[in-house]
Amino acid sequence: MVPFKPYFLGQETPPWPRATSVQKCIRTPDIEDVGKTTRHGTFFEMCGNFSFGDYFKERAIELAWDLVTKPVADGGWGLEESRLYPSVYSEDEEALELWVKVTGLPRERVLRLGRKENYWSMGVPGPGGPCSEILYDRGPAYGPDFDPSALGPDMPVELEDRLLEVWNLVFMQEDLSAVRSKSDFDIAGPLPHKNIDTGMGLERIALLLQGVENMYEIDTMRPVIDRAEALTGRRYGAGGDQGPADDVRFRVVSDHVRSSMMLIGDGVTPGNEGRGYVLRRLLRRAVRSMRLLGTEDVVLPELMPVSRDLMGQTYSELLTDWDRIARVAYAEEEAFRKTLQAGTAIFDQAAAQVKSGGGTQLAGSQAFALHDTYGFPIDLTLEMAAESGLSVDESGFRSLMGEQRERAKADARAKKGQHADTGIYRAVLDEHGPTDWVAYETLSTESRPLALFSAGAPVSRLGEGEVGELVLDRTPFYAESGGQEADAGTIELPTGRLEVLDVQRPVRGLVTHQVRVVDGELDLGATGPLHAQVDEEWRTGARQAHSGTHVVHAALREVLGPSALQSGSYNRPGYLRLDFGWNAALDPEQLSRIEEVSNRALRADLPVGWQYMTLPEAKEWGAIALFGETYDAGQVRVVEIGGPWSRELCGGTHVEHSSQIGTLVVTGESSVGSGSRRIEAYTGVEGFAYLARERDLVTQLTTLLKTRPDDLVGRVGDLVERVRVAEKEIESARTAQLLASAGTFAEQAEDLDGVAWVGRSVEGAGGGDVRTLALDVRGRVPADRPVVVALVGVKDDKPAVVVALNDAAQARGLAAGDLVRTACGVLGGKGGGKADVAQGGGPALSGTTQPDEALAAVRALVADSARAR
């Protein structure tokens, strides 16, 4: 219902008094319960009725009860009235009386539940209201007997599977404020109109009508379980010691395969944030569940087509876009198989260390390292830890993740001047109405100031050098959206001048300008008319870049095929980047072809135009709507370049002919996550400047190397090969010199009560060299004499520690693993290994931590052990 929020709040007039919807929904807060209950799924189809001030409680109850109980032959579902239990909010006497009136049920059949169960809110300030559920009693096999009149305000957990919620009627009538949780909030007052928002999960109705045990066995999901059985050799519902666990895994597979496919079909690609992470988590849980069921083969190419054939009967885009969907899913499985191989080894080592130390919890820092360095999602770490009998310090992990995210977002928050409370903007909107936004028509306006904010609060003036947010009645400035940066420019005052730093839309309909006072002061009360002026050069560059993005997108689809869909973009004057779903790096020929197709479109001087239409009309016309973007429910703007060659929904500013882009120079292509690539390019003057710099670089190199431009690559290649050979010879000489010192080290061994001790710091030696040298030194000491060799190599300021013992030293109770951990601990690092040889390292050396201190600590342990004999 979120898109309808402005209608419920009375901020916008709905285009219709009623609406009916079927929505594809993904919900993952309950992901750990998937497969364990009869009703929890990550993907479901939500069927809803909405009334915007038209009908209310009584009519909503009538419509719901009629559909639920009417015979199937008459278009209903034919559920037995004797099994149905309406529920109401405990304080909503009106709803209780209406249920009795409409259905004829006795009052004791209507359950009275508390705010947690039967009051609906979004969890944030906005519309809400009491709700009323229709519950279906599945019988004693699904829970204990109960007395409906004796139930308290909370639904008992043991009844949640027996009393299955099939429909929720939300009586949207109140405006909520100070929302502390979904069940703890203040009521600011009534909404302008009383509304209805109902929701019914199609899967829950299907399981009842099809007579199956749970949602995973309905006709659009059970065939995936059947295929998983064939691949693993395990049987669903077979019982036995592993039966319950196996059944949960089969259900997880069925649910997650379908959910992943639907997400990819809507344009989501796997990633580490937001919806991309949700998809990645679902895919990886499905793959790992199949591994736990006994197969280590690739499984998605076997399972996902089964789900495609089932869901494609309703959602035909799954069939027409299958090549892209399959490519994204299968590439993610392949990447996860590699992650599993590397990450599992690291996890096993960490778990073994915890257990050997008598611990029962994996540290948050270890879980974070698995996530950040090895790509191990936290939920997978949690599952594997539980299987190993360990817990995970989740709060420590979340804290480290939060710190990382905050560092990444700090700059963005500072620039946008974001405030959690949008009430200050809504107050301006309510008082003055929407901003007259004329960025498409002009670059300058005479405007009137309406409001001024600083640090999220209203102010009356800004002095020279101060920054604030200014709201005008009319503006020519483009507000950042659709990947395009906001316009730059100035606002001239009778008493000074403002520099426009940023332009945003904090709430729909209102444009705010982040400004700095360059000259004079801005006094809201004394300021007369203002002159707002967009920087013309800035706008020209921005138009070139945004139109260039559409050109590159069309060229990309022409070269790679229609499945190469844009997933994100960013434009600033003269520069563009475009992210798109693809599983492999583009080769130089593909990149060159994309650039050629783009520039041919520029040379063809293709007309650029735009027009408004409804979203269904735009899709019928072939316009591309990007997933994740929000489009107006009424009219959308379609921008086309060269007619059908490029048609996209877009609110950005554009050139009038493709030739006005000037030039388009592709500068690079890179990965931005599994299944997602990025192209970067320059346009206009910036494109010519980039080519000029490349030309100057070639000129300098040809002059320096005394060769012709055509011979430059060969000449540089020869030099690189000569340098490689020379470096290899130098490295061989250095290694030989290093190993030659082994005899000297052995001869100079110190005697520690019968143990030969060799402790040295070796400059310029990495881990491999130090290990080879330590073993060589150990081999030069007679086998019957106990010897401990501890070497710390330092290369690029980072230490590498190796400890080697012979059998005689081990017989004295010494162990290389214990000694290397001591040395690494002094250096602030970690290490481990076997009793005869162990290795480790530490962070870059500081002025306070040196190899000699680490060696001294190891020597002290060896000496103490020798004296103890």
Residue ranges at the known binding site for Zn(2+)? 546, 550, 650, 654
Tokens 């995936």 correspond to 224
The H or E element containing residue 758 is strand 755-763
Indicate the pairing of strand 636-641 with strand 646-649: antiparallel
204: Cβ contacts below 8 Å, ≥ 6 apart:
39, 164, 165, 166, 215
Name which of 565, 649, 643, 550 is nearest 598 in CA terms: 550
Residues 782 and 276: their CA atoms lie apart, in Å, by: 60
Tell me the residue ranges of DSSP E strands in 582-685: 608-613, 636-641, 646-649, 664-671, 676-683
- CA–CA gap between residue 751 and residue 757 (Å, rounded): 6
What does the alpha-carbon distance between residue 94 and residue 367 come to, in Å, rounded to a whole number?
52
Helices (H), 90-150: 93-103, 115-118
Q: How far apart are the first and last CA of the chain?
A: 78
Coil/strand/helix, residue 254: helix
The H or E element containing residue 842 is none
Maximum pairwise Cα distance, the chain:
102
Question: Using an 8 Å Cβ cutoff, are 735 and 769 in contact?
Answer: yes
Q: How far is CA 838 from CA 193, 756, 776, 800, 817, in A?
A: 74, 18, 15, 11, 5
The DSSP call for residue 479 is P
Coil, strand or helix at 165: strand
> How many C-alpha atoms does 747 have within 13 Å on its Cβ side?
5
Q: Which H or E run includes 753?
A: none
Binding-site positions read: 546, 550, 650, 654
3-state secondary structure of 689: helix
Query: Which segments of 394-553 are extended strands (E)?
Result: 436-437, 444-447, 449-454, 457-458, 461-462, 467-472, 474-475, 489-493, 496-507, 510-520, 522-523, 530-534
Cβ–Cβ under 8 Å, residues 305 and 258: no
Q: Which two tokens stand for residue 757?
A: 């001790």
User: Which residues are CB-contacts of 214 (< 8 A; sequence separation ≥ 6)?
Assistant: 37, 38, 39, 207, 251
User: What's the half-sphere exposure (Cβ side, CA atoms, 13 Å) at 797?
Assistant: 6
